[in-house]
Amino acid sequence: MREVLVGLGSCGLAAGGLKVYQKFAELLGSGSDAVLKKTGCIGMCYAEVLVEVRDEKNGSTVYGNVSPDKVARIVESHVRNGQAVTEWIVDTNGSTSKQQRIVLRNCGVIDPDSLDEYLARDGYQGLEKALTRMTPEQVISTIADSGLRGRGGAGFPTGTKWRLAAGSKDSHKYVICNADEGDPGAFMDRSLLESDPHSILEGMAIAAYAIGADHGYIYVRAEYPEAVKRLKHAIAQATARGFLGSNILGWGFNLQINLKEGAGAFVCGEETALIASIEGKRGMPRVRPPFPVESGLWGHPTCINNVETLANIAWIILHGADAFKERGTEGSKGTKVFALAGKIKRGGLVEVPMGMALKEVIYDIGGGTLNGSPFKAVQMGGPSGGCIPASLGDTPVDYEQITATGAIMGSGGMVVMDETTCMVDVARFFLSFTQNESCGKCTFCRIGTKRMLEILERICSGKGKQEDIALLSELGEQIKSSSLCGLGQSAPNPVLTTLRYFLDEYTAHIVDKKCPAKACLPLVEFFIVAERCSGCGLCLASCAAGAISGEKKKPHRIDMSKCVKCAKCITVCNVGAIEKR
């Protein structure tokens, strides 16, 4: 049986996957050459649109960068005549051989809209096993024994959280799936929700059974329309087939799951803020204790787990805690999904066993940096995390060891940076994000981040003072210790880690008034490479400061005494003749 699968996650759609799918549908027609299927994220986002062809002769073949005009040849040569089009095949060996897929087990394999395909891959068997052969206490013990820790970032042991929720005496309890993935540079949860929504529902159902909840919410970002659509569809399907709703699988267990769309507030990823948001209020965190497992949504015990955490649950129940524990380090078990992005050759979604060295992830799986130069740093944990320098590339993927570097494991964003990335600018970027997203409740988070941002902006524009560095560290420590929730407690991390590992770049900005990465515009000079300049006059016409001169068809020049460094000329030059120094 021949099959053609087109990857239609958000990345695939953005790259034009739907047109490719339609072209296949048109060419394959209703003839029985092959079955055409949609699937979710195949993981190798760098080569979207991805198409997988499965047949007896070649097994599985993945084509990358497929555009509609390539479809005819794939159909004619491969689908009809069994001849793979070798030059368009993506080499999956390098990137996949070191990966181990538990969470992503179905991503890019099944059609996310098909419950039957999920069932064919052991779908809802974990739930059935839990309901028919395990007591809630046994389920909790299995999860606790597996060593699974919260994948949302903080790494709290999942089994412990469930046990606390189960122990709360209340006839009404809630499970919540936290799908408010807000870290810029992270897209693991989105891909999971889009590619394998039923595994999340199954994980929630098992959690609900374990703690005794009968009602669940999925709090998902409204910015993920495709995920929302597929989740709604999956909930309807599962309810119709008796995997959700009342008297699930005939065992007298009830669970109703509702979808709540977030409204665009990063702080709502924090548990108590998320609860306030579901209740229809401003999403501001509150003091803990009481913790949500004691008093959460509408005052009832509430167990909140992250998307990736929930995607592990059914697998652990089905295969046992020991199979899960085999992977990983002393304190961090199982696997971790990362969204590899930034200046990396093979960006995408990867899942590696805990304990793998960071540089292994970057070089062996990600293929190194875009231009082949060594990587300078890797940013982990988004705005709450930090930049780990290349010199610490041997650090393994492990909660404690990554925390020791000053960064955090975080939800899984991994942004690779090379020598053209300015670390001061990166710190400023993250701080502008957290400053903007601070809910304003705690003074240090509200005003402290603002002051830190002002200092960083000053440094980036060449007006930094020597004492700024001490001031930044002092403010950073104070914000960390005086904020209620994770946002404020971690907001200074990007600044503190860059101060720790890249102090020389701060010094270069402050003392030498230079940006070594040439990213901070006020600190660079623009010049025109005469050999490349065609004298077209576009830059001259675009320069509002009148700093560019030159005759038509002859190389132009920039007068730096007049230049205001707006970089407009760079954006209009069609031959790339304008450079920075």
Binding site for other proteins (CB under 8 A): 10-11, 13-15, 45-46, 48, 181-187, 190, 222-225, 260-266, 277-284, 298, 339, 341-343, 347-348, 379, 382, 413, 415, 417, 421, 426, 429-430, 433, 437, 439, 566-568, 570-572, 574
**CA–CA dist 360, 547 (Å, integer):** 47
Q: Which residue has the tokens 């900005």?
A: 509
User: Token pair of 411, please?
Assistant: 């939800």
Q: 129 in the Ramachandran plot: left (φ > 0), alpha (ψ -120 to 50) or beta? A: alpha
**Quick one: 201 or 265, whose CB is closer to other proteins?**
265
Q: How far is the CB of 304 from other proteins (least distance, A)?
A: 16
Q: How far is the CB of 422 from other proteins (least distance, A)?
A: 9
**CA–CA dist 533, 520 (Å, integer):** 24
**CA–CA dist 365, 384 (Å, integer):** 25
**Quick one: 261 or 294, whose CB is closer to other proteins?**
261
Instruction: Judge contact between 426 and 342, C-beta under 8 A.
Output: no
Torsion of Cα atoms, 494 then 261 then 339 then 434, to 10°? -10
**CA–CA dist 5, 23 (Å, integer):** 13
How buried is residue 510: exposed, middle or buried, by Cβ count under 10 Å (0-12/13-18/19+)?
Answer: buried
Residue 121: which of 139, 108, 105, 133 has the closest Cα? 105
**CA–CA dist 363, 537 (Å, integer):** 43
Give percent helix, percent strand, percent coil of the chain, each to the nearest 5: 45, 15, 40
Residue 351: which of 45, 98, 66 has the closest Cα? 98
User: What are the DSSP E strand ranges found in 47-158?
Assistant: 51-55, 59-63
**CA–CA dist 260, 269 (Å, integer):** 13
**Quick one: 158 or 306, whose CB is closer to other proteins?**
306
Residue 408: which of 312, 496, 506, 309 has the closest Cα? 496
Instruction: Judge contact between 491 and 445, C-beta under 8 A.
Output: yes
Instruction: Judge contact between 284 and 293, C-beta under 8 A.
Output: no
**Quick one: 140 or 460, whose CB is closer to other proteins?**
460
Q: How far is the CB of 429 from other proteins (least distance, A)?
A: 5
Q: How far is the CB of 552 from other proteins (least distance, A)?
A: 21
H/E element, 161: helix 158-167
**Quick one: 342 or 516, whose CB is closer to other proteins?**
342
Instruction: Judge contact between 548 and 539, C-beta under 8 A.
Output: yes
**Quick one: 135 or 373, whose CB is closer to other proteins?**
373
Q: How far is the CB of 225 from other proteins (least distance, A)?
A: 7
Q: How far is the CB of 315 from other proteins (least distance, A)?
A: 24
Q: How far is the CB of 470 from other proteins (least distance, A)?
A: 27
Annotate 358-376 with DSSP letters as a single string. HHIIIIIIT-SBTTSSPP-
Q: How far is the CB of 455 from other proteins (least distance, A)?
A: 19
**Quick one: 277 or 305, whose CB is closer to other proteins?**
277
**Quick one: 64 or 393, whose CB is closer to other proteins?**
64
**Quick one: 280 or 289, whose CB is closer to other proteins?**
280
**Quick one: 281 or 554, whose CB is closer to other proteins?**
281
**Quick one: 266 or 324, whose CB is closer to other proteins?**
266
Q: How far is the CB of 518 from other proteins (least distance, A)?
A: 12
Q: How far is the CB of 344 from other proteins (least distance, A)?
A: 9
Q: How far is the CB of 121 from other proteins (least distance, A)?
A: 25
**CA–CA dist 310, 465 (Å, integer):** 48
